[in-house]
Amino acid sequence: MNSRRFWLSKEVFIGLAVAFIIAVPVLVFGSTKVVFVDKDANGSQDGTSDHPYQSISEALDHIKDGTEVHIAKGTYKENVTLPKGVKLIGTKKDRGAVVIEAKNDSRPTITMKHQSELDHLTVEGGRHGVRIVEDSKAIIYDVVVKNSNRDGIHIDAAPLNKKYQIYIGKTDVKNNDRAGIYAEKRNIVIMDSNIISNDSDGIDFAAGTKAWLENDRFNDNKGSGAKFTLDGANIWSKKNGFRNNKHEGVEVNAYGVAGMISFKKTTLVNNDQYGIAKIARTVSGTRAFGGIVLESGMNVNNISNNTFGNISSILRVF
């Protein structure tokens, strides 16, 4: 495949996708039902702006597919399951103004079903901060996910077509007790986000994942900035930073099935082990690392000042 042509088509696709995400609420707002939540509300409650519900859970009990739930400033101690096609929206001016904090830390703080969306708020605590269930498309935009007991965002498996794509934009995922983002086999876009200071890896993607990562920071994690399985992968990294992680900048594991991970204008510096570690998990995995592509020329990467070295030889772990 011509690498240059692929990058161009990807850039055009992402630009159109983001424009679509921004434009759709404007185009369909007139036909979208809106309900309101305010923890400090008094009197009768019917979800209107004059009589909002006091809890998110109560609002969700009274809505249908295609509803926007607008939440007033405050901390809401709840575990919430978003039904299909529902958007949960906080305060655009300050995503820290609306905090959804787990009431039960043995469950995810927010569970997202197909075509659901989170915007402009903070998610705290829970078994996972956010869990996206299998076969579900979801959007997380301008959100903070922090202090969960396991993964900040845990993504169950789904087919790789765009119908089930996960989009995470302008989001901070930090201080979670396991990975910032863990994904089973998925189609994922992460842009303009910070996945930092998590107790394990910044992101951990299973075999077969298709991902586009652009202008993100995977820094200061206690594991690696990213952990990828090469087998069946199609992962593109553009203008991302992997800095100051306690293990690798990026750990690539191979079991022997072909895959591709490409780095363009990516920075991997000051990690406590390798910038990129190549780990063979089987004998056949030792022959798979031709699928790691490092762009050159104007698209060259900065891989430097990593303690064990910038790119490892093949490390056999079997």
Q: Is the CB of residue 172 less than 8 Å from the CB of residue 197?
A: no
Ranges of residues in the chain whose predicted pLDDT is under 70? 1-31
Please state, in angstroms and rounded to a whole number, the distance separating the CA atoms of residues 220 and 227: 14
Structural domains of the chain, count:
1
- Residue whose token pair is 């079997």: 318
Which run of H or E residues covers position 8?
A: helix 3-28
Q: Quick check: is 8 in a domain?
A: yes
Q: Is the CB of residue 152 less than 8 Å from the CB of residue 133?
A: no
Which run of H or E residues covers position 56?
A: helix 56-60
What the block records as the tokens of 290 is 């031709």
Q: Quick check: is 92 in a domain?
A: no
Please give the pLDDT value at position 178.
Answer: 98
Q: Is the CB of residue 203 less than 8 Å from the CB of residue 176?
A: no
Please give the pLDDT value at position 31.
Answer: 54
Residue 11: which domain range? 1-31
Q: Quick check: is 42 in a domain?
A: no
Please state, in angstroms and rounded to a whole number, the distance separating the CA atoms of residues 40 and 53: 9
Q: Quick check: is 231 in a domain?
A: no
Determine what percent of the chain is predicted with pLDDT higher than 90.
Answer: 88
**Whats the size of the chain, residue-wise?**
318
Cα distance from N-terminal residue to C-terminal residue, the chain: 32
Phi, psi at 291, each rounded to 5°: -80, 0
Q: Quick check: is 14 in a domain?
A: yes
Instruction: Give residues with Cβ within 8 angstroms of 18, minimum separation 6.
Output: 169, 191
What the block records as the tokens of 208 is 């077969």
Name the β-bridge partners of 188.
166, 211
Question: How many Cβ atoms from other residues are within 10 Å of residue 188's Cβ?
Answer: 20
Q: Quick check: is 7 in a domain?
A: yes
Which run of H or E residues covers position 68?
A: strand 67-71
Q: Quick check: is 5 in a domain?
A: yes
What the block records as the tokens of 313 is 């030889």
Please state, in angstroms and rounded to a whole number, the distance separating the CA atoms of residues 220 and 249: 10
Buried b (16+ CB within 10 A) or exposed e, 100-111: bbbeebebbbbb
Please give the pLDDT value at position 283.
Answer: 96
Q: Quick check: is 24 in a domain?
A: yes
Please give the pLDDT value at position 64.
Answer: 86
Q: Quote the pTM value.
A: 0.90
Q: Is the CB of residue 180 less than 8 Å from the CB of residue 152?
A: yes
